[in-house]
Structure 1
């Protein structure tokens, strides 16, 4: 197989994985359409709630998507870190799935508050060392990633990459000195990649969601597609 053909094959496989993931999220009620207020105060036509991966079957299937996306990305790492709170079950599930596939790696997570008895501290699980993969659901502003990076670096390890379920591909926000909030020209993922130097693996992106909506007929889905397109025109990044 030629390099070009291999690239096309890998791209097609990634697109198929992303479309399967979007369908899974819709079927599970994790991805919903309507009008939802985001943390940035925007009215979004869709909402992704990873908290609704709320039973063993859904969480197991989600872990399979993460593992497949990570393997396809070629990103190398030595261990997994799950930031509190949503990242804890996500990181654990991904570690289990990777072990099932023959790639057994250590796993650790943090507490929001330090424990003052027993082993103490905020870190639980395997010692943080080597190249660490952070597993979370979405990235809104990169704040959580910065907090995880600080914990990892303080332990003497290297924050190497982040795996997320959905890249919204929209402008991040930042707070000005006067307390006002403004849009910036980059997304949270772009900030983590370019400013913090981490690799990012996303199972699906906003463009995959639009592809899903475009590929399904029906007046209701067409309305959702038009609203998502309008939202991307206003808040999207290149």
Structure 2
């Protein structure tokens, strides 16, 4: 399925600006899970106060509404997907659409309501909400839980698509985690911004120190970018 996203649009560029201002998107030298030295790092855990989370929810909601994607409920995989799904559900309700929301625990609860799932009953077409997709592991786990509950994993929404080759058993593969989810698992993927959007931002709004970062990000894209 085609990715539901417009690279280089104004919302994406504004999101890059917001992530930079919030300190969530940083430049430097960072080691990724795949062992690569990346010239940039996106850490959604640094959306760490009410104002940032409110603005983040607005970006998620605007991209989701603009996409026209149809769905019945939201699911936030532990851990970062939990607050993201919650604030998106709240923002959608503020805009007039009240949708159910659920999330999972990493470990099953043996007392009280028990189990690993919390919130609304999983049913219908479920939209999985997360920050980024590195290996697609959280998505595959979410898909299994959703199907086991009798619902349909319908699509995935993330903040940033790194458009980077995934690794399998320590070996680079041509596709990204997003492409794997789209082409192999059959789910649509919706992102607020992508690595291409970051490069476009640096080209349009850069200058000075940012020009040096752009060259490094572009070189990284050329070396590790997914086809």
Instruction: Specify the TM-score bucket, using the shorter chain as the normaliser.
Output: over 0.9
Higher relative contact order (CA 8 A, sep 6+): 2
Structure 1 counterpart of 2:82: 88
- Which residue in the other structure is 1:182 paired with? 171
Structure 1 stretch displaced more, 215-224 or 153-162: 215-224
Query: Is residue 2:19 matched to residue 1:30?
Result: no
In structure 2, distance between residues paired with 1:74 and 1:173: 32
Unpaired runs of 5+ residues, structure 2, are: none
Establish whether residue 100 from structure 1 lines up as the match of residue 128 from structure 2.
Answer: no
1:156 alignment partner in structure 2:
150
Moved over 3 A (4+): none
The offset of 1:73, in angstroms, is 1.2
* 1:32-47 → structure 2 map (5 Å cutoff): 32-47=26-41
1:45 alignment partner, SS class: strand
Which residue matches 2:203?
A: 214
Once the two structures are TM-superposed, the CA of residue 234 in structure 1 deviates from its matched residue by 0.2
Tell me the distance in 2 between the aligned counterparts of 1:218 and 1:89: 35
Q: Cα RMSD over matched residues?
A: 1.3
> What residue in structure 2 maps to residue 233 of structure 1?
222
Q: Give me the whole-angstrom Cα distance separating, in 2, the residues matched to 1:19 and 1:233.
A: 21
SS in structure 2 of the partner of residue 215 of structure 1: helix
TM-score of the superposition, structure 2-length normalised?
0.96
Please give the secondary structure, in 1, of the residue aligned with 2:205: coil
Number of corresponding residues: 223
**Does the residue aligned with 1:200 lie in a helix, a strand or coil?**
strand
Residue 57, structure 1, aligned to residue 51, structure 2: yes
Distance 1:125 1:218 in 2: 46
TM-score (norm 1): 0.92
Q: Deviations over 1:20-78 (max 9, x none)?
A: 10000000000000100001100000000000000000001000000000111111100
Kindly name which structure, 1 or 2, has the bigger radius of gyration based on alpha carbons.
1
Q: What's the CA shift for 1:227?
A: 0.1
1:118 aligns with 2:107: no
Matching residue of 1:197: 186
- For residue 11 of structure 1, report the CA deviation from its aligned partner: 5.6
